[in-house]
């Protein structure tokens, strides 16, 4: 906790180091003077923030549709995808200053916020989530991705004895695989082109893990036949971020199979042949987006209940073990280039402040 003396010394305008995406494949750190917290506001000093290797890399590569807001559900990401812009949605920090009318007990609290990468930021009590006492900051940065994994499970509604495939084993895919491994499934297959991620998927609880080309070759040789692969799957999740993976999802499906698309492709697209078996099989293809609750659950579930479940899954699965890179904000350019050029070398990267 911050002492009263410390709080008094901090009660002045704060200079923040902010990360800005200035054009495709270019980032820079800018210093910005933040005003004193206004009435009802908090000033938060960031401890750590996580990079999203999926959506955030679309911003880095210039693959976000310019007419879209970065996130229609988050006040911090209401701008359109026009450079220069800030991005990020997984910051954990400690409240340093409070504005008039804010309960003094907020001072020193550790909080999670859907904020772009910055050393300090202004927020309101309603826009942050207080960390449970037993959750460390490096575990808490996974809250957004764990909520996404929980939402994917709820949207897919896996049933006992089903055959399930997860295409893509980045952070969200691995968290999803870990949650699905707790269900009494007949099979749980992970697919990813990076060997290290396939190995991590097996540790997360997948029954089997394959490279995409191996699955494609097997399905091509023996369509409609039982094999070691999760063919004729009941439920397929596409969380690879690669639009072409939709074709693999269709090839793994059977009659009335469910395909849940958790990826956001940005401006990327691909040809998806929906004739032949894809048409005859009456496939159920749906998109999953974490900003809302699955309609079938919305009568009983809200965001607060889902966050509580996400915290519990963080306790049980300890996702901080997925962190492979920690860097200060001034090394952002190096870290993003590494994520772009050698994604197999990075699983979860975070900034430390």
Given pLDDT bands bounded at 50, 70 and 90, which one contains residue 65? confident
Which of 22-26, 73-77, 126-130, 343-347 is predicted least confidently? 73-77
CA distances from 270 to 243, 246, 274 (A): 6, 9, 12
Query: Is the pLDDT reported for residue 9 higher than 50?
Result: no
Question: Tokens standing for 177?
Answer: 């695989």
Closest CA to 259 of 144, 148, 152, 146: 152
Output the pLDDT for position 76: 53
Report the C-alpha gap between 262 and 302 in whole angstroms. 20
Query: Is the pLDDT reported for residue 1 higher than 50?
Result: no
Query: Is the pLDDT reported for residue 2 higher than 50?
Result: no
Question: For residues 34 and 43, is the Cβ–Cβ distance under 8 A?
Answer: yes
Given pLDDT bands bounded at 50, 70 and 90, which one contains residue 230? low
Averaged confidence pLDDT in the chain: 92
Output the pLDDT for position 3: 45
3-state secondary structure 163-231: EEEEECCCHHHHHHHHHHCCCCCCEEEEECCCHHHHHHHHHHCCCEEECHHHHHHHHHHCCCCCCCCCC
Closest CA to 127 of 102, 104, 150: 102
Which of 67-81, 115-129, 313-327 is predicted least confidently? 67-81
- Domains, the chain, with CATH or none: 4-141+318-352 (3.90.180.10), 145-295 (3.40.50.720)
Output the pLDDT for position 5: 38
Mean pLDDT of 92-100: 98
Question: Tokens standing for 66?
Answer: 């310019």
Report the C-alpha gap between 250 and 246 in whole angstroms. 6
Closest CA to 263 of 239, 281, 284, 283: 239
Output the pLDDT for position 218: 83
Output the pLDDT for position 4: 40
Query: Is the pLDDT reported for residue 214 higher than 60?
Result: yes
């Amino acid at each position: 906790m911050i002492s009263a003396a410390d709080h008094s010394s901090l009660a002045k305008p704060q200079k923040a180091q902010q990360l800005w995406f200035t054009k495709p494949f270019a980032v820079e750190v800018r210093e910005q003077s933040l005003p004193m917290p206004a009435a009802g506001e908090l000033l938060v000093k960031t401890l750590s923030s996580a990079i999203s290797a999926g959506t955030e890399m679309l911003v880095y590569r210039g693959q976000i549709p310019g007419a879209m807001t970065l996130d229609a559900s988050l006040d911090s990401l209401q701008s359109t995808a026009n450079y220069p812009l800030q991005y990020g949605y997984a910051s954990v920090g400690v409240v340093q200053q409070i504005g008039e009318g804010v309960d003094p007990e907020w001072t020193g609290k550790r909080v999670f916020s859907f904020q772009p990468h910055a050393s300090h930021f202004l927020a309101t009590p309603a826009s942050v989530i207080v960390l449970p006492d037993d959750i460390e900051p490096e575990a808490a940065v996974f809250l957004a991705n764990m909520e996404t994994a929980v939402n994917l499970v709820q949207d897919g509604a896996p049933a006992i004895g089903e055959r399930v495939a997860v295409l893509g084993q980045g952070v969200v895919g691995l968290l999803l695989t870990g949650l699905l491994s707790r269900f009494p499934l007949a099979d749980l297959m992970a697919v990813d082109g990076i060997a290290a991620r396939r190995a991590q998927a097996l540790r997360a609880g997948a029954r089997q893990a394959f490279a995409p080309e191996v699955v494609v070759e097997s399905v091509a040789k023996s369509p409609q036949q039982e094999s070691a692969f999760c063919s004729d799957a009941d439920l397929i999740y596409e969380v690879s971020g690669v639009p072409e993976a939709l074709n693999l999802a269709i090839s793994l499906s059977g009659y009335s199979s469910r395909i849940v698309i958790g990826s956001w492709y940005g401006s990327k697209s691909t040809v998806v042949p929906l004739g032949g078996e894809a048409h005859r099989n009456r496939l159920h293809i749906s998109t999953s987006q974490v900003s809302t609750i699955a309609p079938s659950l919305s009568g009983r579930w809200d965001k607060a209940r889902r966050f509580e479940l996400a915290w519990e899954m963080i306790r049980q699965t300890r996702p901080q073990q997925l962190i492979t890179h920690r860097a200060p904000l001034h090394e952002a350019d190096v870290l993003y280039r590494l994520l772009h050029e050698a994604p197999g070398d990075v699983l979860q990267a975070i900034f430390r402040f």
